[in-house]
Amino acid sequence: MRLATLDAWNFSVQHQLSSTVTIEAAYVANKGTHVFAGEGPDYDPNQPTLVGFAEGLSTDQRKPYYQKFGWTQGLRYFGNDADNHYNSLQTKIEKRFSNGYQVLAHYTYSHAKNHESGYYPIDRNVNYGRPEWQRDHVFVVVNLLELPFGKGKRFLGNASKGLDMLVGGWETATNLVWMGGQGFTVSYANCGADEDVGVCRPNLSGDYSVDNQSRNQWYKAATDVLANNGDTNGPWSRPAIGTLGNAGRNTLTGPAWFNADVSVLKRFPLTERLRGEFRTEAFNVFNHVNPGNPDGCVDCGTGGRIFSLAPNALMRRLQFGVRFEF
């Protein structure tokens, strides 16, 4: 094991537009060295190479430690010998709390690449690409607003105690998140006849995009099972036996993510020392559907169709709470 290192660098520019408003733009990047290939601390160094598959060599015969030691089972190598990269443009506008209002907005454009452990000891470039978690675009807006009604406020500042109990102490907050889609990797039905190393990708030979993307057609799939004679079916074709397709890791992009949460809070004094607070919170207030990535098998009949929500996606939920302070 070698000690992992992270080299990070950034450059930022900030400008104050007014006494309460600032904007900022930054370039933020890092490079990891001696990190894990994939998510775990180890990988199998005895994976079979694809070389010799078309000639009929068995899976064991193509494992690097079979010829020398007769080892056929998988081994585990604890070695952090991979690397990763991250580059981003990060922008921010902030209005600090004044006149009952505060807002913070972020936009980030980022690009990241890392390694997976599959086929890594044979060819580290095969599974080098966009991480599963990567979303190129992320936009977040958070704001807080105290309504200007009630005692001491701009409107009805001299309200009676009863009127102030009704109109004063209202506060609302919103949190809006929009993110670009995550990447996904395509496959094809009969790849097991062409390779046995777990890299099941077709050749991309045309434009896979479609107009008016929907849950029933997110990308252009093949109209039939890919033939082994190299004929193009839509934008896809089948690789020759013993070769890997050119469609890379996570090169297609799934649906974007949108979510808005809203909370409404009402504070009310009960006595000089006791104050109450009632809160209503709506998560995914617009009940927006955030679909998951589509089926990536281009010729299985379900290619391009979406069957589930994205991980951690929820439909609208309401939450109520009461709090007392003394």
Chain segment 261-313, per-residue pLDDT in tens:
999 999 887 777 888 889 999 999 999 999 999 999 999 999 999 999 999 99
CA angle 113, 118, 120 (to 5 degrees): 70
What's the confidence (pLDDT) of residue 293?
97
Chain segment 159-210, per-residue pLDDT in tens:
777 777 777 788 999 999 999 999 999 999 999 999 999 999 999 999 999 9
pTM: 0.86
Please state the rounded mean pLDDT for residues 50-62.
94
In this predicted model, which residue has the larger pLDDT, 324 or 23? 23
- Rounded Cα distance, 79 and 51, in Å: 25
Residue that has been written with the tokens 């009969």 in this structure: 190
Give the residue from 262, 261, 259, 252 showing the smallest Cα distance to 312. 259
What's the confidence (pLDDT) of residue 274?
86
The answer as to whether 191 is a domain residue is: yes
> Residues near 23 by Cβ (< 8 Å), separated by ≥ 6?
14, 15, 17, 91, 92, 93, 94
Give the residue from 263, 262, 321, 266 showing the smallest Cα distance to 149. 266
3-state secondary structure of 167: helix
Please determine, for residue 58, whether its predicted confidence score (pLDDT) is greater than 80: yes
Backbone angles phi, psi at 193, to 5 degrees: -85, -15
Containing structural domain, residue 193: 136-326
| Strand ranges (E), 116-220 | 128-129, 137-146, 170-179, 183-184, 203-204
The answer as to whether 280 is a domain residue is: yes
What's the confidence (pLDDT) of residue 1?
63
- H/E stretch holding 321 reads strand 317-325
The answer as to whether 120 is a domain residue is: no
Residue that has been written with the tokens 């991250």 in this structure: 86
Give the residue from 230, 281, 287, 237 showing the smallest Cα distance to 258. 287
The answer as to whether 236 is a domain residue is: yes
The answer as to whether 288 is a domain residue is: yes
131 near 116, Cβ under 8 Å? no
Q: Where are the alpha helices (DSSP H) in 159-238?
A: 161-167
- H/E stretch holding 96 reads strand 82-98
The answer as to whether 246 is a domain residue is: yes
Question: How many domains is the chain built from?
Answer: 1
What's the confidence (pLDDT) of residue 151?
75
| Strand ranges (E), 163-274 | 170-179, 183-184, 203-204, 236-237, 252-253, 257-269
The answer as to whether 115 is a domain residue is: no
The answer as to whether 112 is a domain residue is: no
